[in-house]
Amino acid sequence: MTETRMDGKVIMNEDRQNRIASWEAVQQGFRGTGYIADRAIATTVYLAWHLGKPILVEGPAGVGKTELAKTAAAFLDLPLIRLQCYEGLDEAKALYEWKYGKQLLYTQLLKDKLDEIVSRDNGFAAAIDKLHRYDDIFFSRHFLEPRPLLKALEHPGGAVLLVDEIDKADEEFEAFLLEILSEYQVSIPEIGTVSAASRPFVFLTSNNTRELSEALKRRCLHLFIPFPDAALERRIVRSRVPDLPEKLEKQLVSFIQEIRGLDLKKAPSISETIDWARVVVLLHAERLTTEVVRDTLHVFLKYQDDVHTVEERMPQLAPLLLRNDAG
């Protein structure tokens, strides 16, 4: 590494440290990128960065868990490397894989060379002996395909690593993550231990479809993002859909808040609120009438049963719309 690059890196790091100097700074910065973070979120991000700990983010679907990692990447000006978890995810998909095809191709191409090496010696044992001196070539960096985890470790200058929906992965995968999360290094049998060039900032998200292991939780700071209260949700909608008239925004948010109280299969999340707000803007609706709501129910309700439930409740919910309309 050259002298100048070193300097550049140091300056960038300092800039980053300044940017994340306090939790208020984090909150401010996140607002700049359009993410409204409450105190708990900002504090946890601030702590995690300074303590060098991963953050485990839990909460219902669509409250902005993944978005948080994206925002942090944008805010810190770091590349975002994302690993989507699913059942059966293994090291080959998450960490690294050998490029079998390339290895094969090279052995074919180099066949003559190999012949040459081998044939010069007579005697089988001597040939094998000779080959042994070359065999590491095929298990070197050139034939290694880095997957997200390795990429995040090796990225010069650090990166934001997002391990999305960790609860979908198997329990062994969780165990496998432990080394990376606490030591920021991995062992590749053929090559050795790879340590992080610069410590990645790790976010893990979970929808709580199963309990994560104690060992994993112990290594992380824990952040729970619940559904936001009305005031916070309005701020979020305002920041994401600025075209929405204020009166509509108030109606819309209070309606969604009310609906969350109903017995639904899937309560609408912030992402659904935002979708709905966008749709309402596209429809050029002046205010939220019962008809408009009926027509757009499917935007924020994802099950037919839920749509029915809400339609049945419309007589009770309608006064709410009117009240906010008048206010």
Partner 1 sequence: MPRCSCATTRADPMDRVLEDFVTALRLAGVRISVAETLDACAAATLVGYGNRLLLKDSLGAALAKSGREKALFSDTFDRFFTEFSCNATVPGQEDDPSRDAPLPEDPLSRMLLQRDQAALAAALQEASRQAGIRSIRLPTQRSLYTVRILNALGIEGLDGAIRTLSGAGSGVSLAQADTLQAARQELTESVRRYVEQQLDLYGQGLVNQYLEDALRKTRLSHLEQRHFEKMGEMIRRLVKRLNDIHSRRRKAARRGHLDFKRTLRHNVPYGGFLFDPKWKQRKLNRPDVLVICDISRSMMRLVRFFLLFLYGLNEEILRIRTFVFCSNLVEVSDVFDRYPVEEAVDRLQQGADLPIVMGLTDYSRSLKDFRQQYLDAVTRRTTVLFLGDGRNNNADPDARILREVYQRCRRLVWLNPEPRSFWGTGDSEMKRFLPYCHTARECNTLDHLERVIGALLARTRH
214 interacts with partner 1 by CB under 8 A: yes
Lookup result for tokens 């060039």: 197
Half-sphere exposure in the Cβ direction for 35 (13 Å, CA)? 22
**Which residue of 121, 171, 179, 312 would you call a contact of partner 1, by CB under 8 A?**
171
Q: Is 99 an interacting residue with respect to partner 1 (CB under 8 A)?
A: no
Which range in 7-15, 75-83, 102-110, 185-193 contacts partner 1 by CB under 8 A?
A: 102-110
Question: Could you write out the DSSP letters of every residue in 188-210?
Answer: ETTTEEEE-SS--EEEEEE--SS
Rounded CA separation 174/178 (Å): 7
The size of the interface with partner 1 (CB under 8 A), counted in residues, is 32
Under rule CB under 8 A, residue 23 binds partner 1 = yes
- 90 — phi, psi (to 5°)? -130, 180
The type of residue at 51 is: L
C-beta closer to partner 1: residue 121 or 172: 172
Q: Which has the closest alpha carbon to 248: 217, 223, 225, 282?
A: 282
> Based on CB atoms, which residue is closest to partner 1, 81 or 225?
225
Helix (H) or strand (E) holding 98: strand 96-98
- Which CB sits closer to partner 1, 44 or 254? 44
Residue in 239, 230, 187, 180 with CA at minimum distance from that of residue 204:
180
92 binds partner 1 per the rule CB under 8 A: no
Q: Which region, judged by CB under 8 A, interacts with partner 1, from 158-166, 192-200, 209-217, 269-277?
A: 209-217
Rank residues 55 and 159 by Cβ distance to partner 1 and give the closer one: 55
3-state secondary structure of 221: strand
Q: 217, 247, 260, 278: which one contacts partner 1 (CB under 8 A)?
A: 217
For binding to partner 1 (CB under 8 A), which residues are involved? 23, 39-40, 43-44, 47-48, 50-51, 53, 55-56, 58, 100, 103-104, 107, 170-172, 208, 211, 213-214, 217-224
